[in-house]
């Protein structure tokens, strides 16, 4: 028994070194493929191009295009290790603002709306230059409700912050998080 303890003391440091090295190697390999934000990108993907949104919806204020473009760029840059490329990135995300509508949703007994709903929809095309099988097009929409006694222009900035946050999460999940 004493001999066994002597052997264990001799090899303990080597065993600890081996375990530490193995954990370090595994963590370095996995960081290039998965991040804590949910992005699962190949380590070969380094850049993303996000051109300005196109304005398709005639009801939408033109300033919303720039707002959504900046929100999209910021979200991807903050939640991935990608850098923004002006054109021809490893990934490209082209988007259009296709829906901007207000509809009544909470109607009282006198046919008067108590709440309205602002709905914003985007159409997007995702291109992965390194893996063509991941290319696709889709449409997303999100909404936020507001009191009908308030003008949209008074609440629009606040509503767009809420809606854009939901849109960015959905867009991110569908394009780079593989959820």
**How far is residue 46's CA from residue 77's CA, in Å, rounded to a whole number?**
11
**Nearest alpha-carbon partner for 50 in 74, 33, 34, 32:** 74
Six token digits for residue 137: 């097009």
pLDDT at 11: 62
Residue 145 backbone class (left: φ over 0; alpha: ψ -120 to 50; beta: rest): beta
pLDDT per 10-residue tile (average), the chain, 179 residues: 61 59 51 48 91 96 96 95 91 97 86 90 96 94 95 96 97 84
What is the structure's pLDDT at 55? 97
User: What does DSSP assign to residue 37?
Assistant: T
Which contacts qualify for 102-106: CB closer than 8 Å, 24 or more apart?
102/152, 104/148, 105/145, 106/145, 106/148
Nearest to 171 by CA among 129, 130, 137: 137
Alpha helices, H only, 39-151: 63-79
| CATH of region 40-177 | 3.30.160.150
How crowded is the C-beta side of 145, counted as CA atoms within 13 Å?
8
Cα–Cα dist 106/57, whole Å: 25
Residue 95: phi and psi, rounded to 5, are -135, 155
Distance between CA 144 and CA 114 in Å, rounded? 14
pLDDT at residue number 30? 44
pLDDT of residue 31: 44
In the DSSP assignment, the letter for residue 78 is H
């Amino acid at each position: 028994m004493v001999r066994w303890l002597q052997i264990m003391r001799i090899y303990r440091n080597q065993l600890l070194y081996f375990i530490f090295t193995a954990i370090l190697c595994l963590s370095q390999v996995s960081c290039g493929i998965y991040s804590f934000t949910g992005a699962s990108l190949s380590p070969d993907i380094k850049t993303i191009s996000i051109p300005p949104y196109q304005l398709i919806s005639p009801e939408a204020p033109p300033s919303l295009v720039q707002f959504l473009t900046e929100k999209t760029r910021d979200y991807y840059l903050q939640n991935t290790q990608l850098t923004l490329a002006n054109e021809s990135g490893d990934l490209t995300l082209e988007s259009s603002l296709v829906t901007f509508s207000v509809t009544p949703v909470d109607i009282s007994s006198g046919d008067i709306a108590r709440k309205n709903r602002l709905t914003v929809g985007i159409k997007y095309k995702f291109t992965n230059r390194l893996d063509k099988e991941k290319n696709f097009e889709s449409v997303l929409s999100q909404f936020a409700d507001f009191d009908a006694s308030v003008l949209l222009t008074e609440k629009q900035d606040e509503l767009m912050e809420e809606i854009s946050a939901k849109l960015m999460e959905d867009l991110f999940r569908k394009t780079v998080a593989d959820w």
